[in-house]
Amino acid sequence: MKKSLLSLAVSFAVTCSGAALAQGDTASLEQRIADLEKRLEKTEQVAVDAEKQASAFEFHGYARSGLLINDDLNGASGTGPYMTAAGALGGAVGRLGIEDDNYVEVILDHNISQDDGSWSKYRVMIADSTETNNEWTADDSKLNVRQIFAELGGLDSFDGALAYASIWAGKRFDRDNFDIHFMDTDIVFLSGTGAGIYDVQFSEDWQSNFSIYGRDFGTIDSSSLEVENYIVTMNNYIGQWQLMLNAMTAADNEDRDQTASSPTKRAENGYHALLAYHGNNFYGGGEGFSKTGILVGQGLGAELKGIGSNGNLNEDAQAVRLFSYGVTRFADNWRIAPAFLGEFSKDRVKDGDEFLWATANVRLAQELTKNFEMVYEGSYQYMDLDNGTEQADGSFYKATIAPTFKLDTSGGFFQRPEIRFAASYVDWSENLNNYSVSLDNDASTMGEGGEMIFALQMETWF
Summarised one tens digit per residue, pLDDT across range 426-444 is 999 988 887 777 644 444 5
Confidence of residue 100 (pLDDT cuts 50, 70, 90): confident
Statement: residue 96 has pLDDT above 90? yes
* pLDDT at residue 443, as a whole number: 46
Overall average pLDDT of the 337-343 stretch: 98
Statement: residue 49 has pLDDT above 80? no
Compare 85 and 293 and report the one with higher pLDDT.
Answer: 293
* pLDDT at residue 23, as a whole number: 58
Confidence of residue 93 (pLDDT cuts 50, 70, 90): very high
Statement: residue 331 has pLDDT above 70? yes
Reduce the secondary structure of the chain to three states and give it as a string. Answer: CHHHHHHHHHHHHHHHHHHHHHHHHHHHHHHHHHHHHHHHHHHHHHHHHHHHHHHCEEEEEEEEEEEEEECCCCECCCCCCCCCHHHHHCCCCCCCCCCCCEEEEEEEEEEEECCCCCEEEEEEEEEEEECCCCCCCCCCCCCEEEEEEEEEECCCCCCHHHCCCEEEEEEEECCCCEEEHHHCEEEEECEEEEEEEEEEECCCCEEEEEEEEEEEEEEECCCCEEEEEEEEEEEEEECCEEEEEEEEECCCHHHCCCECCECCCECCEEEEEEEEEEECCCCCCCCCEEEEEEEEEEEHHHCCCECCCCCCCECCCEEEEEEEEEEEEEECCEEEEEEEEEEEEECCCCCCCEEEEEEEEEEEEEECCCCEEEEEEEEEEEEEEECCCCEEEEEEEEEEEEEEEECCHHHCCCCCCEEEEEEEEEEECHHHECCCCCCCCCCCCECCCCEEEEEEEEEEEC
Please tell me which of 80-89, 119-128, 263-272 the model is most confident about, judged by mean pLDDT: 119-128
| 374-431 residue pLDDT tens | 999 999 999 999 988 888 899 999 999 999 999 999 999 999 999 999 999 999 998 8
| 213-250 residue pLDDT tens | 999 997 776 556 788 999 999 999 999 999 999 999 99
| 175-211 residue pLDDT tens | 999 999 999 999 999 999 999 999 999 999 999 999 9
pTM: 0.85
* pLDDT at residue 437, as a whole number: 73
| 308-322 residue pLDDT tens | 999 999 999 999 999
* pLDDT at residue 426, as a whole number: 95
Confidence of residue 261 (pLDDT cuts 50, 70, 90): very low
